[in-house]
């Protein structure tokens, strides 16, 4: 009787932090760039009936690193990271409480028309820097719930608009007639929500975030004993 070995497969789900997800995105981008260059070089060699082995590809990679094109990409990444550090440091130093939106970046980048702009903005890296620097300086970072209608809610009268497509940048409230800039109105609503959380605690929406990004426990009103 022959015994065949049992093959097992294991699946793991990796939930990276904001900084890890941003680093992975940059790494995958670099890998894709190098893969495309190597594929083009091997395709051209194949057309000439030549073969490019691993050692030749490794030598080409060393030469590519010295080209102006790849060096230019590295300088862009360094400047973007430096700009994020300067911005987050200034925000944390000048403010006691900062309010941000808990956006689903992974879902938003699926939109082909916005994916490049969202990736260039590096929102995940921005939030990560903001949270750990807030912990250093003893500041508070409040992340509004992702379902909080900051754009659709009138900051003047509180009326909620039925829909707000992304292409709508200005709109007029049907309740009070106030004309809003989409981003300015959202900023006012987020500020008001953040002040409410600071005063009333984590029992109100949006959820309060303690320094480091962990949600604070929901506050409950104590009941009187009979």
| Nearest alpha-carbon partner for 209 in 101, 54, 71 | 101
Residue 180 maps to a domain? yes
Q: State the pLDDT at residue 144.
A: 85
Residue 48 maps to a domain? no
Q: How many CB atoms lie within 10 A of CB 226?
A: 3
Structural domain for 173, as ranges: 96-217
Residue 131 maps to a domain? yes
Q: CA-based angle 80:84:89, to the nearest 5? A: 150
pLDDT tens, the chain, 226 aa long:
676 776 677 777 878 777 677 777 777 877 888 888 889 988 998 888 888 888 888 888 888 877 777 776 667 777 888 889 999 999 999 998 899 888 776 666 676 666 666 666 677 888 889 999 999 999 989 888 888 888 899 999 988 988 888 888 999 998 899 999 999 999 999 988 888 887 776 544 544 333 444 444 333 444 445 4
Residue 164 maps to a domain? yes
Label residue 72 exposed, middle or buried (CB < 10 Å: 0-12, 13-18, 19+).
exposed
The DSSP bridge partners found for residue 141 are: 98
| Nearest alpha-carbon partner for 176 in 193, 191, 194, 161 | 161
Contact 125, 19 (CB under 8 A): yes
Q: State the pLDDT at residue 21.
A: 76
Q: State the pLDDT at residue 130.
A: 92
Residue 83 maps to a domain? no
pTM assigned to the model: 0.54
Q: State the pLDDT at residue 131.
A: 92
Q: State the pLDDT at residue 167.
A: 85
Task: Tally the domains of the chain.
Answer: 1
Q: State the pLDDT at residue 138.
A: 92
Residue 10 maps to a domain? no
Residue 68 maps to a domain? no
Residue 208 maps to a domain? yes
């Amino acid at each position: 009787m022959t015994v065949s070995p049992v093959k097992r497969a294991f699946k793991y789900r990796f939930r990276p932090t904001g900084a890890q997800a941003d680093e992975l995105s940059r790494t995958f981008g670099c890998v894709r760039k190098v893969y495309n260059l190597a594929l083009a070089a091997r395709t051209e060699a194949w057309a000439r009936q030549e073969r490019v082995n691993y050692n030749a590809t490794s030598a080409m990679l060393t030469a590519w690193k010295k080209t102006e094109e790849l060096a230019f990409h590295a300088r862009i990444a360094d400047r973007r990271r430096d700009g994020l550090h300067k911005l987050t440091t200034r925000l944390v130093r000048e403010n006691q409480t900062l309010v941000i939106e808990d956006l689903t970046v992974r879902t938003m980048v699926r939109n082909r028309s916005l994916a490049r702009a969202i990736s260039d903005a590096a929102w995940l890296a921005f939030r990560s820097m903001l949270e750990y620097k807030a912990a250093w300086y003893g500041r508070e970072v409040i992340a509004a719930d992702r379902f909080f209608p900051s754009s659709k809610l009138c900051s003047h009268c509180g009326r909620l608009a039925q829909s707000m497509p992304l292409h709508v940048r200005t709109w007029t409230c049907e309740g009070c007639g106030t004309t809003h800039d989409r981003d300015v109105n959202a900023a006012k609503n987020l500020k008001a929500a953040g002040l409410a959380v600071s005063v009333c605690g984590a029992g109100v929406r949006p959820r309060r975030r303690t320094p480091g990004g962990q949600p604070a426990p929901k506050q409950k009103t104590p009941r009187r004993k009979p």
